[in-house]
Amino acid sequence: MSLVEKKQFGITKNGEKIYLYILKNDFIEVEILNFGGTIRRIMTPDKNGKMENIVLGFDSVSEYEKHIGIHFGAIVGRNAGRIKDGELVIKGTKYQLEKNNGGNNLHGYPDFFAEKVWNGETFEDGEDVGLILTRVSPHLEANFPGEVEFTVKYTLRENKLIVEYDGKASEDTYINLTNHSYFNLSGDLKRNIDNQKIMLCCDRYIKVDEKTLPVEITDVKESIMDLRNGKRFKDIFESDDEQIKIVGNGIDHPFIFNEVGDSVKARLEDEESGRTLEVKTDQPVGVIYTGNYVHEAKILSNGVKAQDHLGVCIETQDYPDVLKFLPEKGKIYNKINDYKQKTIFIFGK
Catalytic residue numbers read: 180, 315
How far is 57 from 188, CA to CA, in rounded Å?
A: 11
Reported as type and span, the H/E element at residue 61 is: helix 61-66
Taking 3-state DSSP, the helix, strand and coil percentages for the chain, each rounded to the nearest 5, stand at 10, 45, 45
How far is 250 from 264, CA to CA, in rounded Å?
A: 23
Side-chain-side CA neighbours of 246 within 13 Å: the count stands at 13
Give 298: exposed, middle or buried? Use CB within 10 Å, 0-12, 13-18, 19+.
exposed
Quickly count helices (H) and strands (E) in the chain.
Answer: 4, 25
Q: Is 178 in contact with 317 (CB distance < 8 Å)?
A: yes
Q: Is 119 in contact with 18 (CB distance < 8 Å)?
A: no
Edge-to-edge strands, sheet with 39-45: 3-11, 17-24, 29-33, 39-45, 51-53
How far is 172 from 162, CA to CA, in rounded Å?
A: 28
Dihedral class, residue 108 (left if φ above 0, else alpha if ψ from -120 to 50, else beta): left
Contacts of 240 (CB under 8 A, 6+ apart): none
Q: Is 201 in contact with 317 (CB distance < 8 Å)?
A: no
| Sequential DSSP letters for 307-338 | -TTS-BEEEEESPTTHHHH-GGG---BBTTB-
